[in-house]
Every structure is written in C-alpha cells, then in structure tokens.
Structure 1
C-alpha cells in the first residue's frame, strides 16, 4: 500500500462498532494486530463470531453489562474501540442489492489486515475513487454485490464522507490485466438512502459498465483479428512455421473474449437466417468441447486454462470472425442518459443502540 496511507493510519488493533437494524451491534476487528481485537471480542460474553470475521451482539438490552466488559478486554489487549457514525455496511449493501434489477446478492468482507486490502487492487476494474481508495486509503471492510452471471461490484464506505458510499466494478471475467485499464468504468458515489442509490446504479452505473465492457471486448477481439489478418497477408513461406505458432497463440487468447462478445451480441441483435448460420458455427468454434460456454462466474475463481487451437480453427475464425465484429459494432449498448431522479421516501432509521457507560473513540465526520 502506498506511503500516502500513512496520513490515514488506523490503530494497530481496533474494534469498529456499528449498529444494524437486523443484527444488533456489529463489532469488526481490524488492524495489523487484528488478532488482539478478535481475542478481546472472543473473551467478552455476549458477542457471536461470524464466518466473515465480524462479531455480533444481538441482545442490545445486554449492552449496559456487555460494553464495560468489552472496554476492559480492549484495554487488556491494547485495542482501540471506535464507534462508526454509520449503520453497518451490510444493511446498506443488502438493501441496495434487493432493489437492483434482477437477482443480486451482497456479501460483506473484512480486510482486517492491510495486506488483505492490497490483494483487491488487481481485481478491480475501475477508473475512479474506488480504485484510488483501495490503493491509497485504509478501507477495513467492503461488500461484494453479484448478479450471479459474472458482474461483481465492490461497495465501500466513502473515506471522505460520513454518509456517502462508493461503488466500483470488479475485473471482467475474461480479462486479467485490469490495473489502470483505459476502458475501466468510473466508480459511482452513492447517497445514504439505499433505494435511491439502487435507482442511480440501475439507470446510470450499470449501463455505463455494460458499455465499457462491450467496448473492451470488441477492442480486444478487433486487435487480435487484425494481427491474424496481417500474418495471413504476409505470405512469407520462410516464416510459415513461426507465423503458424503465432497465429494459434493469438487465437487461443482471443477465443474467450470472442466467445463472451458473441454471447452479448446475440442477446442484443437479431440476425438474419444466413448470418445466424455463421454465428452458430462461431459459437461451436469459440466454445469447444470441454467448456461450458458460460463466462467465469466470479473474479475470485481462477480462470480456466486456455484451450489449444489449430491452424484450421484459425482459418475458420478468419472466415467467420468479421461477421461477429460487424454485429458487435451494431450491438454497442447505448450511452446512459442522466436525468432528474424521482424522490423516494427515506427508509426507516436503523435501530439505535442503547447508551452504555463506556467511552469509545468516534470516527470523525467530514
């Protein structure tokens, strides 16, 4: 992580406390010595540890007894208690997912150690504040929103605001070179009301994401196809073996991008009977036996090994590929149109935690 994070350094061992309307009081142990914080919570009766690393106190009526015990355990283990000015991120993430079109899920992740946060950098496909924050600010937790079909988004609390959130895209399924990619969509700043944020994501962010992904796929396939055409046009018999090897290598790398581009194009464009025959033939070429034809469902799943390719397959692509490129250019998603958003009634306020006789550090509002 960059030295710029030093200006935003958090304690070595910290427990961030946030209220949740559904869970109660959520305690998140973070820091380079997060195990000290985790231990302090484990020895405090009343908290239950979840698989994602957070601890939950469901019975808020027990806070007058539990919080002094937690404060004592924190002092013993050299842990700082911090009260978040926000409600628990998981509440916002799940409400946001519920109001997005289609079927979305939300999963909270804790980056207790700063190194875990750094692991996210190559997985992001973002040209805005999410990538900037994950690389240069300390972000102790986030939430991954997924539609189950390959689209994954990272939601974090805006590090410069006590109310706003940031949403950015995870890496596209067929690519692994995402850092500072010129096609990456710009992250969105979301308001505090999740239902209003869902409208913004559905009408602005997701269309921009789809357009960026289509353009990136199209550019990758066009570049690979152009190189294959150059090799074919060279016609040098003395380099035939070298060019044959280069051609099959290029096609192996091009194939997963072209398969995804074909799937997206066919869902957007109705081809005529003759073109449909060619596109069907391409589907078989780009999705050979042994592959599902479906994109990698998650950036957290390793990509499949590239399938071998033959000179005959390269020749078939050179014959049929231009038709896919023609239809893919026609199938470009339209640019999102921004406009006034209808006013939505604010949701009910999160459950307030009862007062407890313990002093905790509060995150500053900015």
Structure 2
C-alpha cells in the first residue's frame, strides 16, 4: 500500500486541483511543489500554469515522480467540492458563505465529532470512514452552518449541520437532526435541503432551546427546594403570583449559581418568546404571564450588559436585581414551556400526488404548452420519456404518466438532468454549454437501450426508434431493380381491367424512373 496519496479533481475556476492525504501527506506536498503545483484554497494545490500543454506535462511529471516516491495518484470522478458547495449555496434561501476544509491527516477529521450535530449517516461516516475534505455553508443571519461531504461509496453528498456555539456538548443529543443524502446536481440538492433538511433542522433547534431552558429552570428550582425555603404560591390555574420572590432566599453562593444557570434562559428564551402566540393556543389566559416574563427577561439582559461594560455593581445589588427576575421565571415556567411547545415549527406538508392526465380528446388534437410534457396528448400512449429544447432552460426532458414518478426522476437525474424550479415534472440538462447536444443524445440512447420508448426532437434524435434497423444485404440493388420491373409489368388490382379490342403487338415498356435508386452498401472489404 502507498505511503501517501494524491487525489486529483477539477475546478471550473481553478483548473486541476491536487489534494494530498494520508499520514505521510508531507512527502506528497513536496512532490506537488516540485512538479509545478502551488498551495491554494484551504490547503489544496493547483497548477500554476494555465496553458493546457504545460499542464499536461506537469501532470505527467507528477505521476512519474509520485511513482518513484511510492505515492499513489488517483483521479476523482467528482468535481471539486468547493464548486459543488458554491453552486448549492447560490440556490438556497438567504445569503450563504462557503468554505472548504481539508483533512490531509486521518486524525484531523476527528475534530468534527464534537462539533457535528447529527444523528444520521453523516456522523457515522465521520467516525468510521475516511473523509479527506468537506465544505461549510454558513448563514450568519440564521446562525446556521451546514456541512457538505462526499458520500462514501455513493455518487452523492451527505448534508448535516454543526451545533451552534451556545449549545455546548451535543454528542448523543436526542434532538439532533438526521443528515440527508443529496444528488450530485445543485438544483435537486438545494431543493432537498430547502424542503427537507432545513425545516427538520429548525424543529430540532426549537426543541433543543426548550430543553435547555427547562433544564436550567429545573436545576434552580430543585436546589431551591432542597434549601427548604418557602415558595411563592401560584394559586389556581391561570392565577398569577403576587410580587414573586421580592425577598431573596439566604445564601449568596446559591444566588450566584442561580444567576449562572439563568444565563442559559437569557440566551435561548427570547427566540422562543417571539414564536409564542397565546391567543392562537389552547391557553389564551397565558398572555399576561408571558408579558411578565418578557419584562423580567429585559431586566436580566440589562444586568448582563452592565456587567459586560464594567459598570460597578456590588454583590448585594446584583442579587437584588437578578433574583426577582429568576423568581418570576420559576413561577411561570409551566406556562412558558407549554406555550413554547405549542409554537414549534410544523413539519412541511407531504407532497401531493400528481394529478392524472386528462382524457385524450376524441376529435382533433389540442397541443398543451411545452412545459407540461407529462400531460401532452400528442405523445404516443406507450411513450415513457420526452426530450426537447427550451429557449430558457436549454435541453429539457420529462417522463410521462406511463412511468412511476420516482422511477422517472431517478433515471433523468442519473442522466445529468435536474428538476426545473417552478415547473413540476420538467427537467433540464446541467451545464448545457458543455457539449449539451451530445450529452442529451447520449441520454436518449441510454434510455432506449434499457427498453424505454423515448420521443425526442429531430436534433436530439438522429436515429428514430419507430422501426427496428434492417440488416444490410449484399445484393440489395439488383433485388430492388427486379421488384421495380415486376411492379411496372403487372397491372394494379385496384383498377378494373377493360378487355382490349385488339391484342397489343408488343408489351409496353415502363418509363424509366426520374430518381436514382438509393444504393445500400454493406460493411466489409471494398473492391
């Protein structure tokens, strides 16, 4: 086995990218520097020469030097992960920044384990498989950081999330969202992240915040109960306490610990309070209690800001200002938690099944717009796929109602087509400027080879599949001439023959055809 490995990939902006990996990655870096590569983004090496001929020579020298040094050079079938992350980020809602991180040494990827907030396949892959590099997608407005990594053993990507800094230890967190696997095409990948992963992530964040606030209040309440201090009576359901906690319990150490625990509430409760809608819940009487919690929270934030700015505050003054806030939250904790749970983001609705195609009209032919290919009545009933061109989306394709939706989607994405946003059932070829016509014709050929009936425009259909190809015959020209002579000598049975008055002296000679018969030459040795 090679001591080190160099993985070659391609970036549309930086050209050939070389990534050294394994424990002896330093030796691989030395070979790269000697063969014309220079250090680029996130520890990846790129060719310093943009000329194609020079680049080919550099790659040849790299392979030669690497073999001499016992280093394995492997070419990746995927594009540079930085390009994939940027293409996906442009299609996500909001403003996202991307960053690539390379884990040349196998130990380095272990740094992801305490940061990764995931209960799915991504966390398992980081612990058990080799992940030499990954990309971060960060939305600073929503404090969300996604992790994009190549899926081991599959042609796709794993998408998960990193835990926000305020969450602390998240290992084995029951609220952690499950990572998803997305395809290699940015359109379908961004759609899956937007419609599936981000809503699940928001629900997990909401539940995590509720859990942290409830845990902090519970710790303070349990220690207060252990001190056997008198508690403020809450009265019947919906009744509010009168001036809760104006007299702080004895023990400065307890009040200091209570404030430190309550800072968790100060960090996470504001977002939860913003989502609470008591008037729309089953407990509209909680509105007054939530108002008191908001007022108390603002007082706690003011104390924290004063301490951060260095405002002189004695221990007694600190306790006098913070304990009424903590006592108010302890008194109304049950009301707050039930309102926060009721305000949890709802899961996205399940996708509706596609409507059945309309019945074919008995008379006439009414063409539908070209974007609704699945319902086009001018296609043959047995057609499975349709390919064509579109002035905006380039080379497009669709599958008809005669094929299951999940199967048609799988086949088209396998042929490098991606769904067109806003047009259900329509797919477009990715990167149509990169030899798009040939790739579209190749997709038509692949699907027909699998036994599916494909309708395509003349540009994408050089060999129409309406009839099976005839085998070439070596004597086609003489046989064609014989058939023409025989057909010309025999009267057509559709015309009624009239008895001649006199026998013709000679047989009429058929006129010579004005066209030149096509000549079919069989494959073989020429004369």
Which of residues 178, 192, 198 in structure 2 aligns to 1:200? Answer: 192
Aligned residue in 2 for 1:13: 4
- Structure 2 unaligned residues grouped into runs of 5+: 230-248, 280-286, 309-317, 353-418, 436-527
**Counterpart contact for 1:262–1:328, Cα < 8 Å:** no
Whether 1:348 aligns to 2:363 is no
Name 2:326's counterpart in structure 1: 317
Equivalence for 2:305: 289
Separation (CA, whole Å) in 2 of partners of 1:204 and 1:54: 32
Deviates more, 1:70-79 or 1:334-343: 334-343
What pairs up with 1:125-204 in 2 under 5 angstroms? 125-149=117-141, 150-161=143-154, 163-204=155-196
The one of 53, 73, 76 aligned to 2:43? 53
- 8 Å CA contact retained: 1:25, 1:56: yes
Structure whose alpha-carbon radius of gyration is higher = 2
Match of 1:36 in 2: 27
Q: Could you tell me how far 1:314 is from its partner in structure 2?
A: 3.9
User: TM-score, normalization: structure 2?
Assistant: 0.56
Kept after mapping to 2: 8 A contact 1:248/1:314: no
2:173 counterpart of 1:90: no
Query: 1:266 matched to which residue of 2?
Result: 274
Q: Measure, in 1, the Cα distance between the counterparts of 2:201 and 2:228.
A: 42
Alignment map for 1:41-120 (pairs within 5 Å): 41-45=32-36, 47-57=37-47, 59=50, 61=52, 62-120=54-112
CA distance in structure 1 between the aligned counterparts of 2:179 and 2:350, rounded to whole angstroms: 15
What residue is the counterpart of 2:416 in the other structure? none
Cα deviations by residue, 1:45-104 (Å, 9 ceiling, x for unpaired): 2x2311511012362613321111111231343321011111111111111111110000
Question: Normalising by the residue count of structure 1, what TM-score does the alignment of the two structures yield?
Answer: 0.78
Q: Is the 8 A contact 1:21 1:350 kept in 2?
A: no
Question: How many Å separate the matches in 2 of 1:259 and 1:180?
Answer: 22
> Residue 19 of structure 1 contacts residue 351 of structure 1 at CA under 8 Å; is this kept in 2?
no
For structure 1, the residue ranges without an aligned partner over 5 or more in a row are: 1-9, 293-308, 353-366
Contact 1:207–1:335 under 8 Å retained in 2: yes
C-alpha distance in 2 between matches for 1:77 and 1:315: 71
Distance 1:228 1:130, change over 3 A: same
* Structure 1 stretch displaced more, 310-319 or 136-145: 310-319
Which deviates the most, 248-257 or 131-140? Answer: 248-257
- State the 1:273 CA deviation: 8.6
Deviation at 1:173, TM superposition (A): 2.4
Tell me if the contact between 2:266 and 2:300 (Cα under 8 Å) persists in the aligned partners.
Answer: no
* Cα 1:31/1:310, change in 2 over 3 Å: farther
> What number of residue pairs does the alignment pair up?
323
SS of 1:263's equivalent in the other structure is helix
Q: Which protein has greater RCO, CA pairs closer than 8 Å, 6+ apart?
A: 1
CA contact 2:299–2:325 (8 Å) conserved in 1: no
Q: Does 1:23 align with 2:14?
A: yes
Q: Which moved more, 1:276-285 or 1:94-103?
A: 276-285
Taking the aligned partners of 1:338 and 1:183, their CA distance within structure 2 comes to: 22
Cα RMSD (Å) = 3.0
* Mapped contact 2:8–2:18 kept (Cα < 8 A): yes
Deviation at 1:290, TM superposition (A): 6.0
Q: Which secondary structure does the structure 1 equivalent of 2:42 belong to?
A: coil
| Alpha-carbon separation, structure 1, partners of 2:45 and 2:434 | 17
Q: Which runs of 4+ in 1 moved over 6 A?
A: 270-274, 349-352
Distance 2:320 2:64 in 1: 71
